[in-house]
Amino acid sequence: MTPVKSKLGLSRAKIDKARELAAAVTAPVQQFIDRHTTVTIERATLRLLGADGANSDGVPVPNLIAQQCAEKLSGGASLYYVNALVKLGKTPAELNKAVAGGLDLSQIELTDRKAIQKKADELIKGLDGRIAGNVTHRNAKLRQYKDKVKSPLIYVIVATGNIYEDVKQAQAAALQGADIIAVIRTTAQSLLDYVPYGATTEGFGGTYATQENFRIMRAALDEVVDKEGRYIRLVNYCSGLCMPEIAAMGAMERLDMMLNDSMYGILFRDINMYRTFTDQYFSRMINTAADIIINTGEDNYLTTSDAVEKANTVLASQLINEQFAFKAGMPARLMGLGHAFEINPELKNGFLYEYAQALMAREIFPEHPLKYMPPTKFMTGDVFKGYAMNTLFNFVSKATGQGIHLLGMLTEAIHTPYLQDRHLAIENALYVHNAMEDFAGEIEFRKGGIMQKRAQLVLDETIELLGEVKRHGLFTAIETGMFAEIKRPRDGGKGLDGVYEKSPEYWNPAEAYLKRKLKIGK
C-alpha cells in the first residue's frame, strides 16, 4: 500500500496497528468461512455452470436443484448438475428445461468422476471466457474515453420499480452527466431466498434484481456510452440472502460495481451472521474475478448512531471490510469503502469534522475508490437548506479526493427524486468540482488544529474499539451491539438453516476456479 504524507498528522504506526487488529479480528471468522458452504453459494455455483430459468410456478431452476439435493448440499450441488449433463447428454439449456419440468437430478446415478470433472472444466472454461470478455470490453472503453473520466465519479440512483422506466431515467441521468447508475432493489428483496426470473415491471421503492434486468440496463447504458464518449458504470446490490447469486449474475452481465458489505445484512436486515460472512467471501471472489468494484455500507451506521460519537465504528468497519476483501483475493483498487456526510448541521464546526473524517478515510485508504454518501439523516424537507448541505458535501468530496460520489437530492425526505431534481444535483456537483479542481493540492491544515485533533482522536478510538472486538471476537461484538448500536444473536436471524459444514467429499468447481484465478491460498 502506497504511504501518503498525512495532512492530518496521522501516525503511520497507529494506522498499521489498526490494520493488524482488523486482521486478527477477521482471522477466526475466516476459519469458519473456509469450513462451510451455504445454499446460496451452491445456487450461485449452479448459475455459474449454466443453471437458469424457472418452472411454471416461478421457482428458479437453481432453487429447484438445491431443494432436490437437500442435505447433500454439504458435498456440493454442482456434482448432481454436471453429472446429469454427462449422463443425459444434454446441454445446460436442455437440462434446465427438464429440471423446470420436474426432473430430479439427485436421483440420477453418478457416473465416472473423471467424466464429471472433464465436463466441469469445459463449463468453467466457457465461464472464464465470458467474464474475461466483459473485463476486456470495459477496460477498452475506459481507455478509449480516458480523457472524459471525472474525479470523483458522479453516482445517481434510479428506482421506479419498472425496469423499462428505469432505463429511461438512467439514460437521462447519464446524458446529464452521471458516471454511475445504481438501480435500487425493490424493498425487502434482500430477504428473499431466491432470485426472480426475467424482466420485471412491478416493485416497491425499487426494481427487482434479476439477470434479465441486469442485461436490459447494461444494454441501455451501452447505448449512451459512445454517444457521450464516457463509459457509464452500472451498479446493483450484491447483498442479502442471495448475495453470491447476484454477484454471479453481475459478473456474467458486466455490472461494474456491487454493494457488497461484510456486515450490512447482519446489522440492518437481520440475516444470520454465519450465513452472511460465508456468503460475502464467495461473492467477493466472484466480484474480484470480474474486476467489479464493491461498495461497502458504513454510511448506514450513521443512520442509527451519532456521526461524531460513533465515527470510530465507521473506520473500524472499513478496516474489517478491507481485511475480508483481502482474504477473498481482492486488491485495494476494487474496494469502495463507504462513509457519509451525516454530522448534525447544527453542531458548531460540524463542517470541519466532516472534512477531517473524509480526509482521514482518504489518507488511511489511499488506493481505494472510496464511496462517499450524502446527507440524509438531517434532511428536513427544506429544499433550500438541503441544497446548501449538498453543496458542502460536494465540496468535501472533491477536497478530499473521494472516488465515488453519490449525489444528494434537494427533495430528500420528501419523495423519490424527479428527473429535474437529479439534474439539479448533477449540475451542482459538476459546478463545485470544476471550480475547485486543484484545491486539495493547495490547502494545508494547522498543526494541532481542530481537523488534526479530530482525525487523530477517531483513529485512537478505532484502535481501542478494534482491540475490544479482538478480545471478545467479532461474533460477540455483533451480539453486544458494538456496531451501529444494533444487537444480533449469532444463532438468530434469517438464513441460518441454509448454512452447511462442508463434508470431506465437498466439490465445487467454481470455487476451485476462483481460488486458482485469484491465487488464494498460494
* Enzyme catalytic residues: 264, 299, 371
Phi, psi of 182 (to 5 degrees): -110, 130
* 3 state SS of 372: strand
Beta strands across the sheet bearing 293-295:
335-336, 293-295, 257-259, 233-237, 180-183, 153-158, 404-406, 371-373, 338-340
Integer Cα distance of 89 and 361 in angstroms: 54
Integer Cα distance of 222 and 201 in angstroms: 21
Integer Cα distance of 426 and 424 in angstroms: 5
Using an 8 Å Cβ cutoff, are 351 and 318 in contact?
A: no
What value does the CA radius of gyration of the chain take, rounded to a whole number of Å?
23
Where does residue 50 fall: left (phi above 0), alpha (psi -120 to 50 degrees), or beta otherwise? left
Count CA within 13 A, CB hemisphere, residue 133.
8
Residue 516 CA, distance from chain mean position: 22
494: β partners: 271
Q: Using alpha carbons, select from 77, 74, 84 the residue that is nearest to residue 111.
A: 84
Using an 8 Å Cβ cutoff, are 312 and 320 in contact?
A: no
Burial 100-117 (b: 16+ CB within 10 A, else e): beebebeeeeeeeeeebe
C-alpha cell at 369: 475508490
Integer Cα distance of 459 and 467 in angstroms: 12
C-alpha cell at 289: 474475478
Using an 8 Å Cβ cutoff, are 255 and 236 in contact?
A: yes
